Amino acid sequence: MVTIADVARAAGVSISTVSYVMSGKRTISQETRDRVAEAIADLEYSPHASARSLASRSTNVIGLQAPLRAGVDVHVVMQIVAGIVTEARSLQYDILLLTSDDASGLSHAARASMVDALLVMDVESDDPRIKTLEGLDVPSVLIGLPAGADGLVCVDFDFEAAGRLAAHRLAELGHRRVALFGAPAEVLERHTSYADRLVRGFLSACDELALVGSVHACPTGAESTQVVDAVLAAEPSLSGILIHNEGALPHIAAHLASSAHELGVIALCPAEIAQTVSGLADSIAIPAEGIGAAAADALRGLLAGEQREKVVLLPPVLASAGA
Amino acid sequence: MVTIADVARAAGVSISTVSYVMSGKRTISQETRDRVAEAIADLEYSPHASARSLASRSTNVIGLQAPLRAGVDVHVVMQIVAGIVTEARSLQYDILLLTSDDASGLSHAARASMVDALLVMDVESDDPRIKTLEGLDVPSVLIGLPAGADGLVCVDFDFEAAGRLAAHRLAELGHRRVALFGAPAEVLERHTSYADRLVRGFLSACDELALVGSVHACPTGAESTQVVDAVLAAEPSLSGILIHNEGALPHIAAHLASSAHELGVIALCPAEIAQTVSGLADSIAIPAEGIGAAAADALRGLLAGEQREKVVLLPPVLASAGA
DNA sequence: ATGAAAGCGCTAACAG
DNA sequence: CTGTTAGCGCTTTCAT
């Protein structure tokens, strides 16, 4: 392997000069800088990451805990990760995908100095990882907005506002009886932060608007249409619905299109998903990639020691459906 | 931070003893081992990953290049990654998600000694990363089966056999004119390894069976039904199809269910996806998580210096559709 | 503007 | 069975 000593020798300078050329932390004569740069290029030198982080006490790596389990909307997760990765690359950070998804995985990564910061996805309303994170000496950002994370930076889409927005829009379209078809039961039962907040926003707005609103867990896939049919059977005057479930959306949309019911449908999902479905009244886009980018940027801010707001919520925007 | 010296002091032994207790590379008396273990637990010691890898010349990290771009089947990608992560955890490896998706990202990770091995997904039939990988001194595994990767270990689902299997099954069901509705055009145009192989297997089997077979790129979403309609219009006697496109599958299935055409449909997708769709004749499961696990295991084999076959292809299995 | 050298925390000889 | 110590490759004081 090529070491900094090889580069120094090739360039006819000392080791520290090579180091300073790379870091820019010292003024170096143009001539020397060129010779070093040339040697680096010639030898295809890349500094040994571990040696560097041992000496500098920083890794340029962000630890990421991402949900790979079932029930989550995979497009959303992938896009958030893509956003994180893209932003991280521009900041010269790499992403360590933690292979353990509990609190101990986080503290291990931190104590072993594997990461400069931690990014935690799929946060539950009352998440045990929160107190662990608060006790660590590496900065962290949550994607989600759990209860009692006062000390931590949280970034997410504003699902509560999205729920309210959807209810308002349904009311505006003249619907009086409305329903939210949401995440699969396992996600709701875990009290995943975003699902809880969406429900809260939707129902509270229904209350204020004197709408009759209900919430239904919704399985992924064709089964979802049975849930919809059951709800419609029980409440025939239901006329407007909000769907927050990627996997169910196309099935429900197709089902309603070929059925007698005239339902106003709002979809809450990434814009690209909404585009692939026809028959929607409106949609509210989940800016998934933006969430990831915002989270990575918040982390950059923390790492740079900036003073930041603790909570960043991306606002929902109503879009008329393409069809 | 807690260092090995702290542990040694607390346990009343030398630092090398602590090191050997952790690695098990030396026989240590039970008593000493217990004292050290206790000190480690008390102090919540985790060895500094960089210091360890600098000294030991290994990182216990696998570098992963995963496709986060559009067009790929996100479920498949997520499940493959989940398989990799799960297997990696059991092997005590972490996953570094490389934020650059080109050849230079691979050689950088290798030269900087950031990883012990590389795992590359979304391989194209003639992929520029192949010769880069061959020149590196870290072992690597490709997920895919490109042309001319003679020196490299490749793991994948046997898409060619799957294409043949589907054609045989369609023939068996009595269809004479068949079509493959495959990945989006951008994926086919990139000559992604799996898409190429599926086409090859499907068409060659059609040939042998004297079926009239055709292949059609297929957009994701409701638009896909237009492609199907267009093909059916041009070839009304088409009676059997193979769908290899997660994002199009539910739309096409729903569309055909409410249309006059009586088509035999085989889906090629993860089993969980097939389950969510009704109206399928049969399905062939893509064992996505298994691919990831097999790839990680192949890497483990390489790292352990085992003699291994260069190509591992998971065989396709026909499943009657749940509905 | 440049060098020399002292660590960073650990592993693995080498020495009992 | 255990301890001492020389590196691993780099960053960063001190020097000059």
Q: What is the pLDDT of residue A321?
A: 56
Q: What is the CATH number of the domain that holds A36?
A: 1.10.260.40
Give the mean model confidence (pLDDT) for residues B84-110: 94
Out of A56, A74, A93, a domain closes at A56
User: For residue A67, which residues of chain B lie inside 8 Å, CB to CB?
Assistant: none
DSSP B171: H
SS3 at position B132: helix
What is the phi-psi region of residue A17: left when phi exceeds 0, alpha when psi lies from -120 to 50, beta otherwise?
A: alpha
Give the mean model confidence (pLDDT) for residues B209-229: 95
Q: Tell me the nearest-neighbour CA distance from A83 into chain B, angstroms.
A: 9
User: For residue A68, which residues of chain B lie inside 8 Å, CB to CB?
Assistant: 78, 81-82, 85
Do B183 and B34 lie in one domain? The reply is no
Q: Tell me the nearest-neighbour CA distance from B100 into chain A, angstroms.
A: 7
- Residues within 7 Å (Cβ) of strand D: A 1, 3-5, 15-16, 19-20, 22-23, 25, 45, 47-48, 51-52, 54-56; B 12-17, 20, 26-29, 31-33, 51, 54-55, 57
d(CA B84, CA B292): 4
Do B186 and B254 lie in one domain? The reply is yes
Do A127 and A185 lie in one domain? The reply is no
Q: Is residue B186 part of a domain?
A: yes
B30-43 and B4-11 helices, crossing angle to 10°: 130
- Contact criterion met (CB below 8 Å) for A209 and A173: no
Q: Is residue A98 part of a domain?
A: yes
Nearest CA in chain B to A82: B68
Do B249 and B164 lie in one domain? The reply is yes
Q: Is residue A320 part of a domain?
A: no
Q: Is residue B98 part of a domain?
A: yes
C1' of C16 to CA of B22 (Å): 22
Interface residues 87-146 of B with strand C (CB < 7 Å): none
Among all protein residues, pick the one whose CA is nearest to the C1' atom of D9: A51
Q: What is the pLDDT of residue B69?
A: 80
Identify the residue among A114, A223, A275, A277 best suited for mutation to test binding to B, counting B beta carbons within 10 A and taking the highest. A114
Nearest nucleotide, CA A20 to C1': D11
Do B163 and B153 lie in one domain? The reply is no
Residue B322, pLDDT > 50, answer: no
Nearest CA in chain B to A47: B112
Does B77 sit within 8 Å of A113, measured CB to CB? no
Q: Is residue A297 part of a domain?
A: yes
Q: Is residue B229 part of a domain?
A: yes
Domain housing A120:
61-157+288-315
d(CA B174, CA B172): 5
Residues in chain A predicted with pLDDT less than 50, given as ranges, are 322-323
Q: Hey, is the C-beta of A102 within 8 angstroms of any chain B C-beta?
A: no
d(CA B102, CA B132): 10
Do B280 and B165 lie in one domain? The reply is yes
Q: Is residue B323 part of a domain?
A: no
**Based on the structure, what is the number of domains in chain A?**
3
Does A47 sit within 8 Å of B112, measured CB to CB? yes
C1' of C4 to CA of A16 (Å): 9
Do A68 and A94 lie in one domain? The reply is yes
Do A273 and A164 lie in one domain? The reply is yes
- The tokens describing B166, both together, are 């589907």
Nearest nucleotide, CA B35 to C1': D2
Hey, which residues 38-97 in chain B have their CB within 8 Å of chain A? 44-51, 53-54, 59, 61, 64, 68-70, 74-75, 77-78, 81-82, 85-86, 88-89, 93-97
Q: Is residue A321 part of a domain?
A: no
User: For residue B275, which residues of chain A lie inside 8 Å, CB to CB?
Assistant: 221
Do A84 and A43 lie in one domain? The reply is no
C1' of C5 to CA of A17 (Å): 14
3-state secondary structure chain A: CCCHHHHHHHHCCCHHHHHHHHHCCCCCCHHHHHHHHHHHHHHCCCCCHHHHHHHHCCCCEEEEECCCCCCCCHHHHHHHHHHHHHHHHHCCCEEEECCCCCHHHHHHHHHCCCCCEEEECCCECCCCHHHHHHHCCCCEEEECCCCCCCCCEEEEECHHHHHHHHHHHHHHCCCCEEEEECCCHHHHHCCEHHHHHHHHHHHHHHHHCCCEEEEECCCCCCCHHHHHHHHHHHCCCCCEEEECCCCCHHHHHHHHHCCCCCCEEEEEECHHHHHCCCCCCEEEECCHHHHHHHHHHHHHHHHCCCCCCCEEEECCCEEECCC
Do A204 and A151 lie in one domain? The reply is no
DSSP B279: S
Detail the DSSP E strand segments found in chain B: 61-65, 94-97, 117-120, 140-143, 153-157, 177-181, 212-216, 240-243, 264-269, 282-285, 311-314, 318-320
With bands split at pLDDT 50, 70 and 90, how would you rate the model's confidence at B12? very high
Do A257 and A231 lie in one domain? The reply is yes
Do A165 and A275 lie in one domain? The reply is yes
Instruction: Give how far Cα A18 sits from Cα of A10, A59, A60, Å.
Output: 11, 20, 20
Identify the residue among A40, A45, A50, A61 best suited for mutation to test binding to B, counting B beta carbons within 10 A and taking the highest. A50
C1' of C9 to CA of A305 (Å): 26
d(CA A187, CA A76): 14
Give the mean model confidence (pLDDT) for residues B130-152: 92
Does A97 sit within 8 Å of B85, measured CB to CB? yes
With bands split at pLDDT 50, 70 and 90, how would you rate the model's confidence at B321? low
Q: Tell me the nearest-neighbour CA distance from B101 into chain A, angstroms.
A: 11
Q: What is the CATH number of the domain that holds A240?
A: 3.40.50.2300
Nearest nucleotide, CA A45 to C1': D9
d(CA B96, CA A98): 9
Q: What is the pLDDT of residue A322?
A: 45
Tens digits of per-residue pLDDT, B56-67?
999 999 999 999
Residue B70, pLDDT > 80, answer: no
Q: Hey, is the C-beta of A256 within 8 angstroms of any chain B C-beta?
A: no
SS3 at position B70: coil
User: Which of B68, B254, B255 minimises the CB distance to A78?
Assistant: B68
Residue B307, pLDDT > 90, answer: no
d(CA A12, CA A234): 84
Q: Is residue B9's beta carbon less than 7 angstroms from any atom in nucleic acid strand C? A: no
C1' of D6 to CA of B56 (Å): 14
Nearest CA in chain B to A48: B112
- Contact criterion met (CB below 8 Å) for B18 and B36: yes
- The tokens describing B3, both together, are 């260092």
Tens digits of per-residue pLDDT, B231-280?
999 999 999 999 999 999 999 998 998 887 889 999 999 999 999 898 88
pTM for the model? 0.94
